Amino acid sequence: MALLWTTPEIWVAKEPITKERLTAIETNLSYLHAPTREIITLSTGSNQTFTSTSYVDLDPTNYDLSIEITGDAPLLVELEGVISNSTLAALTYLDVMIDNLNYLSSFTVTPVTNGLWRASAFVANHLVPVNLKAYVPAGTLAAGVHTFKPKIKVSAGTTTWYENAYWSQFSVGE
């Protein structure tokens, strides 16, 4: 279980230095040394295929993350992997849904059309890397537990997200 951060004290002259207050410093040091981050890494899974033109889960069995955050630090959301599309010039879009409600691209229930990441199939079936990193400023999300799900859609053809013998990773953390 992650140690959670508490706002550092503002000390006043002649206040008692208690073990609780010193422990709070130690706890914060531990949090800074290992801030909250959840990471899913796959290389031996099953490839995922998609033909939906509206957002669907990328791989809910593996990539759905639940993480407790302090809300006091910025969040970094990262998705890395490899895709291809069977149709020349077809587009693949990626976004991340927060708390089963809002898209990270817009912070509303309606994502921006191009999502967080848009990839074109310059050549049909050629592999294209995805290297998506998006920051969420401190205070944007309230302290507590939040869920994060990568979402995917296509404009045409079939997009494959490679998990079998390809490296992929989804992570969220402060």
Partner 1 sequence: MTTLWTTPIDWETQDAITAEKLNAISDNLQYLMTPNFGVATMRGTGSNQTTASGTFVDLDPATYSLDVELTGLRAVKFSLLGIITHSVGGSSVRFDVLIDGTTYLSSLTATPLVNGVSVLTLPAGELPTVYFEVIVPAGVIAAGRRNFRPVWSTTAATATWYEISSSFSQFRAGEY
Name the token pair of 74.
């910025």
Q: Give phi and psi for 112, each to the nearest 5.
A: -65, 150
CB of 149 to partner 1, least distance (A): 17
126 binds partner 1 (CB under 8 A): no
Candidates 39-47, 57-65, 118-126, 142-150; binding stretch for partner 1 (CB under 8 A)? 118-126
For 56, residues 6+ apart whose C-beta sits below 8 A from its C-beta are 50, 151, 152, 153
CB 75, CB 148: distance < 8 Å: no
Q: Could you say which of 37, 47, 72, 102 contacts partner 1 (CB under 8 A)?
A: 72
124 binds partner 1 (CB under 8 A): no
10 binds partner 1 (CB under 8 A): yes
Geometric angle at alpha carbon 138, from 12 and 40, rounded to 5°: 125
Is beta strand 102-103 parallel, antiparallel or unpaired with respect to 75-85? unpaired
28 binds partner 1 (CB under 8 A): yes
131 binds partner 1 (CB under 8 A): yes
Rule CB under 8 A: which residues touch partner 1? 5, 7-15, 17, 25, 28-29, 31-32, 72-74, 89, 91, 105-107, 112-120, 122, 131-135, 137-138
